[in-house]
Structure 1
């Protein structure tokens, strides 16, 4: 329950946002932080309570109240009949997905300056797919893979990753670091400290969202045209189209996968690029990198590793074994390497294709 009158806050600040008290999760932490990116809510206070009478004083309520009503600005997903999903997706929304679905385009415009149009639409979908949907799935108990299928296949984890996600970081903010001192505090003091921990969690998740959105806007989105041009020119470097050359380093993988799916592949040309070349820097005389293309959604698996005999070698030893002068290195895992020149990197990629 709030320690200051919600009605007083509503009169003196921006529109009051309400969410539940008690144990909190990543979805409402993100929902609150996203709302505050909008000019309307920039100075909005937050009340964390389960008291229906206090929630009635709130302008916008997320993740509590058992109601989803856009007109009333109620964005809860816990009611039995709730089945809403983001357009084109099957994952049931959490409070994060609900806020993003209704306010996402305005949030993107507020943060990036993008105006309504194709780029904003593309980014709206991309941010949901790559960032928001995982919050929805996590809060609704949806696994990345069907547990029964995983069990039937006899698959087991190589290591435990429960503490590695954004959701796990948010969960850590739920706990006080001084249990002994808590025993002597009043309920009001404990609530204030819980609210403060929620604020930190919300700030953390909001920062991750802004970083994701900013990177997609300033790097991923502009890369679309450059990757498209490089994809069209790939036959200049390999008659089967297995090598793509970029003018500089950029986020290319998503765009490449999309182009491969949507483009008409000429006869005699391979449907997939195996290696991507790009300079280490934009400075003249830069060294060049050769990157094996990962399998889509394949984690660290590549379509074709750089040759096994080259893995882990450097400099003269690499040049001698590969037969290409100017070798710099090949990672031991075979996913990336380098050469002193573009010509050397291209020769390495051409040899790797034929290996």
Structure 2
């Protein structure tokens, strides 16, 4: 968290960096090089972690999340890295936050065929809107870059907070309802959720 962020494509400066992300033309986790632009790169979450189902080609964001996501979540939540809370939230945040970034960065369409309307307010689009306009007198990108880091960081933390404090508790209630279903009805086909308003559909 105290690391200095340097934006450069200068190979000499990159060679001095402890971690290089999204530039440099190489993926070498042992040396902490995490670029995805080279033609030879085809990695997905599933290819790097066979226990995961996602086959979308990773961007550098996905690479960093793949290698460090569990460690980051554990530190933020004060939970064991290999515990059930971090494991569940790691998967949920990849599927509902990071994978979209991977796909858009790699030019992968959400669906086949012509889109019926434009999506212009995705996280990736809003980050792009922070770039200088073509005719701005000041073409300095540093201010926009810092705003982009704040934007993405804030939204990531918001989603983490929601899934940790709302989604996970709802899942626990649904799991308990499933365990008790035969007490509610002999068929086992009825779930009772005594606490109203619990979002249950995503858990069954």
* Length-normalised TM-score, structure 2: 0.86
Match of 1:137 among 64, 78, 103: 103
Partner of 2:36: 77
Instruction: Output the CA distance in 1 between the equivalents of 2:199 and 2:149.
Output: 28
Q: CA deviation at 1:76?
A: 0.1
Partner of 1:224: 171
Residues 237 and 244 in structure 1, CA contact (< 8 A), matched pair in contact too: no
Partner of 1:56: 15
Cα displacement string for residues 289-322 of structure 1 (whole angstroms, at most 9, x for unaligned residues): xxxxxxxxxxxxxxxxxxxxxxxxxxxxxxxxxx
Instruction: Output the CA distance in 1 between the equivalents of 2:59 and 2:29.
Output: 14
Aligned pairs for 1:276-355 (under 5 A) are none
Instruction: Output the CA distance in 2 between the equivalents of 1:92 and 1:177.
Output: 30
Residues 63 and 78 in structure 1, CA contact (< 8 A), matched pair in contact too: yes
Residues 91 and 137 in structure 1, CA contact (< 8 A), matched pair in contact too: yes
Partner of 2:155: 208
Match of 2:70 among 90, 105, 114: 105
Instruction: Output the CA distance in 2 between the equivalents of 1:121 and 1:239.
Output: 33
Instruction: Output the CA distance in 2 between the equivalents of 1:170 and 1:228.
Output: 38
Structure 2 unaligned residues grouped into runs of 5+: 47-52
Partner of 2:6: 47
Q: CA deviation at 1:139?
A: 0.6
Instruction: Output the CA distance in 2 between the equivalents of 1:178 and 1:252.
Output: 49
Instruction: Output the CA distance in 2 between the equivalents of 1:117 and 1:197.
Output: 37
Instruction: Output the CA distance in 1 between the equivalents of 2:134 and 2:43.
Output: 38
Cα 1:86–1:246, aligned 2, differ >3 Å: closer, same or farther?
farther
Q: Which has the larger radius of gyration?
A: 1
Residues 177 and 191 in structure 2, CA contact (< 8 A), matched pair in contact too: no
Cα displacement string for residues 220-276 of structure 1 (whole angstroms, at most 9, x for unaligned residues): 1222221122245557379683664341433422212xxxxxxxxxxxxxxxxxxxx
Partner of 1:124: 90
Which SS does the other structure have where 2:120 is aligned?
helix
Q: CA deviation at 1:133?
A: 0.6
Residues 234 and 245 in structure 1, CA contact (< 8 A), matched pair in contact too: no
Length, aligned pairs only: 196
Partner of 1:175: 132
**Structure whose residues are more often strand by fraction:** 1
* Length-normalised TM-score, structure 1: 0.51
Instruction: Output the CA distance in 2 between the equivalents of 1:163 and 1:142.
Output: 16
Instruction: Output the CA distance in 2 between the equivalents of 1:162 and 1:247.
Output: 36
Partner of 1:91: 56
Which is bigger in relative contact order (C-alpha 8 A, separation at least 6)?
A: 1
Partner of 2:25: 66
Q: CA deviation at 1:161?
A: 3.3
Instruction: Output the CA distance in 2 between the equivalents of 1:74 and 1:52.
Output: 12
Cα 1:62–1:98, aligned 2, differ >3 Å: closer, same or farther?
same
Instruction: Supply the RMSD in Å over aligned alpha carbons.
Output: 2.3
